[in-house]
């Protein structure tokens, strides 16, 4: 059942991408007589910091290249959920996407390190690591055999558990609760260790699953909890702060390499600016989201953070096993001190 449904989704997404590409151009980006449009797949709303920063990137790139390059952000999973979107970028039907690190760990296990709890202490720490070429250079080019280049990271902020039943204080409170996770080994194991029963599912399906009782809870940052309206159907948000999550922006490698040297330099420069803008927006929008949530009935509670921390410790030994993973982990931790 599940398989046939996801095939159907992938099929319709591919058909949509083909239709888009038929109106726009070929596999090196949809071209027009005087410019090339890079379509970017995003699973967030137009009010989310990632949409705002990437839409601004599009405006600035277009201005700076006098229309030779455009970036068009398609919000709300219109080009598919992340699992489909990454395939579409890889095969060149779509040029760019924002995907969670959890998707990239399915393509190269080395990405798992940055998806683990207790690797990043804060958004600032995370961004100093993922923006450092010396640490991430090889990792970001490791998917080029799949025609994917990682431009860099955008923070997902601090993630916590929320649910429909009541406040969670300790791992024991999650016993028997079905908690939605992203499609990733690390996430499955993480929720198991935190005491819940993990249920993998695409982001866009979570609202209905919470509403219908298919799941009892999920975990995310306050911005996504609010912009996806999950607060309407799961009002208990418990500050487990278990993970500083990470998104990546990926681009089709052929498309990237086909840019003129000048336009690529402009694009890269504007990308750096977009990352800075995103991080700043992230911090201010998180505060605003928190206030709005408090005012509209979300019940926040603090938890026994030490109990969750101890429960999650085994994850590091379980996933930091290869030499590359160890190097990435050590570099991340060294930057925290
Ligand atoms: C965050 C993240 C998304 C991810 C989502 C999820 O909102 O920014 O990239 O898809 O969490 O939990 O699926």
Q: How far is the CA of 100 from the centre of ligand 1 (A)?
A: 6
Tell me: the pLDDT tens digits for 261-319?
999 999 999 999 999 999 999 999 999 999 999 999 999 999 999 999 999 999 999 99
Residues 6 or more apart whose CB falls under 8 angstroms from that of 119 comprise 113, 244, 316, 329, 332, 333
How do the residues of the chain divide into helix, strand and coil, expressed in percent and rounded to 5?
55, 20, 25
Atom of ligand 1 nearest to the CA of 44: 7
Examine the pLDDT at 4 and tell me if it is beyond 70.
no
Atom of ligand 1 nearest to the CA of 247: 9
Q: How far is the CA of 203 from the centre of ligand 1 (A)?
A: 6
- Mean pLDDT computed over every residue of the chain: 93
Residue 16 is predicted with a pLDDT of 52
The residue contributing the CA closest to ligand 1 atom 8 is 156
Q: How far is the CA of 116 from the centre of ligand 1 (A)?
A: 15
Atom of ligand 1 nearest to the CA of 228: 7
Q: How far is the CA of 230 from the centre of ligand 1 (A)?
A: 13
- What angle, rounded to 10 degrees, do the helices at 123-130 and 261-295 form? 170
Into which CATH architecture does domain 6-334 fall? 3-Layer(aba) Sandwich (3.40)
Residues having CB closer than 6 A to ligand 1 are 43, 82, 100, 156, 182, 203, 220, 224, 247
Handedness of CA 303, 307, 313, 315 (dihedral sign): negative
């Amino acid at each position: 059942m599940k398989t046939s449904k996801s095939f159907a989704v992938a099929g319709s997404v591919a058909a949509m991408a083909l239709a888009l590409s038929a109106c726009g151009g070929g596999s090196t980006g949809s071209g027009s007589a005087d410019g090339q449009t890079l379509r970017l797949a995003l699973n967030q709303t137009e009010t989310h910091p990632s949409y705002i920063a990437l839409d601004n990137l599009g405006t600035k790139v277009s201005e700076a290249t006098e229309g030779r390059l455009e970036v068009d952000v398609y919000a709300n999973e219109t080009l598919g959920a992340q699992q489909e979107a990454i395939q579409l970028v890889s095969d060149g039907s779509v040029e760019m996407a924002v995907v969670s690190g959890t998707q990239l760990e399915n393509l190269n296990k080395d990405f798992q390190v940055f998806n683990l709890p207790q690797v990043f202490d804060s958004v600032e720490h995370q961004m100093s690591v993922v923006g450092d070429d010396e640490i991430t250079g090889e990792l970001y080019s490791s998917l080029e055999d799949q025609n994917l280049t990682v431009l860099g990271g955008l923070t997902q902020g601090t993630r916590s558990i929320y649910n429909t039943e009541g406040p969670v204080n300790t791992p024991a409170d999650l016993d028997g609760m079905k908690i939605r996770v992203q499609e990733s080994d690390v996430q499955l194991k993480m929720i198991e260790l935190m005491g819940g029963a993990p249920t993998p599912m695409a982001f866009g399906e979570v609202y209905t699953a919470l509403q219908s009782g298919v799941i009892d809870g999920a975990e995310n940052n306050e911005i996504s909890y609010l912009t996806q309206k999950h607060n309407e159907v799961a009002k208990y948000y418990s500050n487990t702060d278990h993970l500083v999550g990470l998104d990546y922006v990926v681009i089709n490698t052929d498309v990237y390499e086909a840019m003129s040297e000048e336009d690529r330099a402009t694009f890269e420069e504007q990308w750096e600016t977009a990352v800075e803008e995103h991080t700043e927006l992230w911090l201010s929008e998180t505060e605003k989201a928190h206030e709005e949530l408090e005012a509209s009935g979300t019940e926040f509670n603090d938890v026994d953070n030490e109990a969750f921390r101890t429960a999650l410790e085994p994850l590091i030994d379980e996933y930091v096993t290869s030499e590359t993973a160890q190097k990435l982990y050590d570099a991340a931790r060294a930057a925290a001190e």
